[in-house]
Amino acid sequence: MHQMSKHRVATLILTFIFAQTANAKTNELTSLTADGWYQYRVPIADNAGSPCCQHTGQSDFCQLTASSRNLTINTSLTAKNLVILFKQRSNQIEDVVLIGDHCRVDSGGHSVKELTSVTSQQSLDMLQALSTSTDHHLATLVTAAIALHHDDDATQRLIRIAFDKQHVSQHDAIFWLGEARRHQGFQALLGLIENTELPMSARKQAVFALSLYQHADAANALQSLARTHSNHHIQKEAIFWVAESSQHNAFTLLNDLTGPTYPQSIQKEAVFGLSRLSGKRATPALINLVQHARSKVVREAALFWLGQSEDPDARVFLTQILTR
């Protein structure tokens, strides 16, 4: 075996120590002392659109002096960078704003210092620490910021938060796994749904997040949950989101679920799902159930949702029934 000289080993150790020291010095995020607004930029996740505070017509803008701000994402635009602005006071970060390249910022007279050497890993480290904040608005924003990073490590951090039932940002992390993290997020959501150690609220949130991932695999998985999942809470949640997202073949699936082989609670949820279909599909489907369904529960549910409908055809049908 080749033996390194003591001089060579010492040189390597010193080089490593120097590199670590140099890296520590270049982490601008951990060396800030002055109060005020700062900003830095990192590559944004693929197909993430362009985040901003408000989108009105042709204008995307943020006001740093606003008392409250929303996070909106303009999916018609493509940003190259995620710009993270944050306000520091007394060595604590108390506000975060997320924008893309196209978002105009009104600083309200505040100066904003640009940090130019922040890496994605340094950014993710800071944001993950902030994700446990007792300030719910801040925790929500920094979890979104993690999700919008381009790095694959952002997915792994979200997954760890999503599976942590004690984490205050668990539901936000689950949401962003479906909204922004594509196939890796999709696989994690399937695992979350089947994890019986998690609260049902988290598992149902994962079903919702699954509906956000615009991909055939997610659509098929959601329909499979709606048709066959052994837990009726999960099954009903999937039925709801199949109908809400108006997936391909949603009508066929929902109509099948009103059949006698399914429990009454599932039949009623499927009727509700049919009532939520867009366009003119809902009314004929409900009328058909009133006229032909074998189950009294299904017929009554269909009548109820026809009564809630604003479709004139539904009212004509109900009038005919009442005047017979």
Each residue's pLDDT tens digit, 80-133? 999 999 999 999 999 999 999 889 999 999 999 999 999 999 999 999 999 999
Say if strands 36-43 and 81-89 run parallel, antiparallel, or are unpaired.
Answer: antiparallel
Evaluate whether 174 touches 162 at the Cβ level (below 8 Å): yes
Each residue's pLDDT tens digit, 243-258? 998 777 899 999 999 9
Each residue's pLDDT tens digit, 166-195? 999 999 999 999 999 999 999 999 999 999
Evaluate whether 121 touches 63 at the Cβ level (below 8 Å): no
Q: Which of 93, 109, 102 is nearest to 39 (CA)?
A: 93
Q: How confident is the model at residue 290 (pLDDT cuts 50, 70, 90)?
A: very high
182 φψ region: left (φ > 0), alpha (ψ -120 to 50), beta (else): left
Q: Is the pLDDT assigned to residue 286 strictly greater than 70?
A: yes
Angle at 173 between CA 167 and CA 175, to 5 degrees: 135
CA dihedral 158, 162, 165, 168 (to 10 degrees): 60
Q: What percent of the chain has pLDDT over 90?
A: 78
Each residue's pLDDT tens digit, 218-237? 999 999 999 999 999 999 99
- Write the CB contacts of 274 (distance below 8 Å, at least 6 apart in sequence): 243, 251, 254, 255, 258, 281, 282, 285, 286, 289, 302, 305
Q: How confident is the model at residue 16 (pLDDT cuts 50, 70, 90)?
A: very low
CA 38 to chain centre: 26
Q: How confident is the model at residue 42 (pLDDT cuts 50, 70, 90)?
A: very high
Average pLDDT, rounded, for the chain: 90
Q: Which of 105, 98, 103 is nearest to 149 (CA)?
A: 98
